[in-house]
Amino acid sequence: MALSPTREQMLALRRRTETIRYGMGLLQKKRDALVLAIEQERRLFASLGKRFRELCVRISMVYALVRMYEGQHMLSLLHPGQIPLVVVMERHSLMGCTFAQFRPAQSEDELHPSTMKYDPALSSIHLDDLLSALSDVDEILWRYINVRAKLVALEKDLRNTMRKINNLEHAVLPTLRAEYKRIREILAERERQDRYTLKKMSRKSRFISHECENGLL
């Protein structure tokens, strides 16, 4: 048998509703902050992407010139002295959203050692241009990767935040409001019945008293 609703239950339900509204307000502020951060990262990502594509075009042109004037053997001389690339991953957090950022473990000198076997004095200027372009694209590439990783994490967190807000707004809060209204109506009806019963008993009591005073009972 279900217990009859009480005023304490109604008050507890109202406090819970207010708490959920407060939590939803915090989620909405987080959503707005995420949208702003995502827009900033998207603009930066578009700018880096444009610069990256420009550098790729430059590398392609210079690479073709090196092969044309220096030959494939000169490109093969750039490999000796290079060491394996070790990538370090660092975790960062923004408004509760955790995302990874990457960087090479080696220093700039270790990544580009001066132990290449080609003689700069005997090579064309196109080879220097190729090395310069590769160095430029290396810096852009790391920023491009990190912005992309951050952007993906922020967009995923935004989707989760929107899903929570929609669930609270369209499922949880309407259910709580309906339950609160139901309990309030039951309590109001109970109070009306109690007042009616009390009024009826009061009239009956006065009638009995009146009859007793007149000696009819």
pLDDT of residue 170: 94
- Residue 195 covered by a domain: no
pTM of the full structure: 0.70
- Residue 213 covered by a domain: no
Query: Which residue bears the tokens 């609270």?
Result: 168
- Residue 110 covered by a domain: yes
Count CA within 13 A, CB hemisphere, residue 172: 17
- Residue 6 covered by a domain: no
Report how far residue 161's alpha carbon sits from residue 95's, in angstroms, rounded to the nearest whole number: 11
**pLDDT tens by residue, the chain, 217 residues:** 456 788 888 889 999 999 999 999 999 999 999 999 999 999 999 999 998 888 888 888 888 887 777 766 566 655 545 566 688 888 988 878 888 898 887 665 555 544 444 445 445 676 777 777 887 888 788 889 999 999 999 999 999 999 999 999 999 999 999 999 998 888 888 888 877 777 777 777 776 676 666 665 5
Total domains present in the chain: 1
Report how far residue 21's alpha carbon sits from residue 28's, in angstroms, rounded to the nearest whole number: 10
Sign of CA dihedral 28, 32, 33, 35: positive
pLDDT of residue 30: 93
Tell me which residue range forms the domain holding 137: 11-188
Q: What is the CATH number of the domain that holds 40?
A: 1.10.287.3240
- Residue 193 covered by a domain: no
- Residue 180 covered by a domain: yes
- Residue 154 covered by a domain: yes
Report how far residue 146's alpha carbon sits from residue 153's, in angstroms, rounded to the nearest whole number: 11
- Residue 202 covered by a domain: no
pLDDT of residue 1: 40
Write the CB contacts of 163 (distance below 8 Å, at least 6 apart in sequence). none
